[in-house]
Copies of this chain bind each other. A is one copy, B any other.
């Protein structure tokens, strides 16, 4: 006998949690589709040679390699590896199918990715990423950069996770600002920004001390200006525009960054995103070697400890490893597994009601055919129904429905048959009513839709 268990670092859910998680994925997918993104799925594994174009580094050390039994026995090197994100597969996909795709190419992809992370609470080796990207050919208007926050707004509003803020910044603005201070080299900017990232943990005073200390050797004035700059947060749409004006004229690159952010802000308003849901945050940098323009992070106002729940940005060229075509893009990603885990830990989401909406109870073996017919009508009416196939004690049947999170129990015995009605018990409100057998599906549809409209899950 072997002990049944999963490998460490995976999130496996009981059915009612899986239903809650599935609803989260459905909300994300529905909103991605609303904004006109097209579905793409790629294989879980890629050829190692194709996946690992940039050898070495942290990323590769975390890769899972895949080998068939035959290849393993021959002692060869693994030809396959599990994807560690959805960006490299997207690059490969777009380059491979370039001539069959229409640009700007708008795709969404909701699949699991794999990283050999050290096992740790809340860290997953297998997790869902939910990505959208718009890929241009040669050029891509900055107008697309404003679509991303509009999608984020739609998704997180429907997820119902409380107030949230989409934080905006622009890498060109960052670059221009640092160059203006004489910190021109990209590597050095990155090191400074890495220190800046520690402000929350170490405090501004300690970080400032590091910046003026031996390794960096910045002047007091430069350190002060950096600290003031990275603490800029806008408090409204007008304030965001004012904060951009306050930067004044600078280098070409700074001015470009300012102009792009201004356009994004204006279009965000046109998209109808409420100003409470976005803000400038000049400390946001994201992957410095990858993003080149607008960058995004999203935080839950009441749960800052969760960190960013949706991030992304604009990049210059998606697939330089695979094609000579220049493919600029902009995209965002939601790490749904970690998000779900964190929201559950924070008590923001809980176990869902069952996806089974109605249980048809069985009072009498002789009524089984009636039960099946009632269930058939419910299903034809778009209601998820389960049938009790054995006439166990009624109390047991109710207990089962209650534990399973099924809201309605329907009963049809001799008494009901005489009057051609069905008895309905609402386990949530504890109310009970009767309805004509023919009208059952329509009546329950109304009840269930009322519940949905009231936002109950």
Q: Shortest Cβ distance from A106 into chain B, in angstroms?
A: 7
Also in contact, A1 and B369, with CB within 8 A (given A43-B10, A61-B69): no
Task: Provide the residues of chain B in CB contact with A195, threshold 8 Å.
Answer: none
Q: Which of chain B's residues has its CB closest to A406's CB?
A: B36
A439 within 8 A of B: no
- Whether A45 lies near B7 (C-beta < 8 A) is yes
Cβ B270 vs Cβ A5 within 8 A: no
Q: Is the CB of A66 within 8 A of B69?
A: no
Stretch at the interface among A91-99, A209-217, A423-431, A442-450: A91-99
Determine whether the beta carbon of B41 is less than 8 Å from that of A13: yes
Asked whether any CB of chain B lies closer than 8 Å to the CB of A324, the reply is yes
The residue that A46 contacts in the complex, of B7, B40, B116, B144, with Cβ under 8 A, is B7
Q: Write out the residue numbers on chain B whose beta carbons fall within 8 Å of the beta carbon of A38.
A: 15-16, 18-19, 354-356
Q: Which of A397-435 contact B (CB under 8 A)?
A: 400, 403-404
Segment touching B, from A234-242, A248-256, A383-391: A383-391
Residues 11-38 of A at the B interface (beta carbon under 8 Å): 12-16, 18-19, 22, 33-36, 38
Inter-chain CA distance A53–B92, complex, in Å, is 37
Contact residues, A43-79 vs B (CB, 8 A): 43-47, 49-50, 53, 60-70, 72, 78-79
Determine the chain B residues whose CB is within 8 A of the CB of A102 once the complex forms. Answer: 400, 403-404
| Oligomer copy total | 2
Q: List chain B residues, Cβ under 8 A from A64.
A: 66-68, 80
User: A185 to nearest B CB, angstroms?
Assistant: 28
Q: Is A172 an interface residue (CB 8 A)?
A: no
Surface stretch bound by B, among A282-290, A301-309, A371-379? A371-379
Inter-subunit contact B66/A82 (CB<8 Å): yes
Distance from A285 Cβ to chain B, minimum over Cβ atoms (Å): 26
Q: Which of B50, B68, B143 contacts A116 (CB 8 A)?
A: B68
List A residues 251-279 near B (Cβ within 8 Å). Answer: 267, 270-272
A39 in contact (CB, < 8 A): yes
A17 to chain B, nearest CB (A): 10
The one of B2, B36, B382, B404 that contacts A50, using a Cβ cutoff of 8 Å: B2
The segment from A196-204, A224-232, A291-299, A315-323 found at the interface with B is A315-323
Report B-chain residues with C-beta under 8 Å of the C-beta of A18: 38-41
Q: Which residue of B lies closest to A100 (CB)?
A: B14
Given contacts A46-B7, A61-B70, A79-B7, contact A33 B144 (CB under 8 A): no
Q: Contact between B322 and A70 (Cβ–Cβ < 8 Å)?
A: no
Q: Is the CB of B355 within 8 A of A33?
A: yes
Given contacts A3-B322, A44-B114, A62-B68, 20 further A-B contacts (CB under 8 A): A2-B322, A4-B91, A5-B96, A6-B42, A7-B45, A7-B47, A7-B79, A12-B93, A35-B385, A36-B359, A36-B387, A38-B355, A44-B112, A65-B67, A65-B69, A67-B78, A68-B116, A72-B78, A141-B390, A267-B368
Chain A positions near chain B (C-beta within 8 angstroms): 1-7, 10, 12-16, 18-19, 22, 33-36, 38-47, 49-50, 53, 60-70, 72, 78-80, 82, 91-93, 95-97, 100-102, 106-107, 112, 114, 116, 126, 141, 143-144, 147, 154, 267, 270-272, 319, 321-324, 354-356, 359, 368-369, 372-373, 376, 379, 382-387, 389-390, 400, 403-404
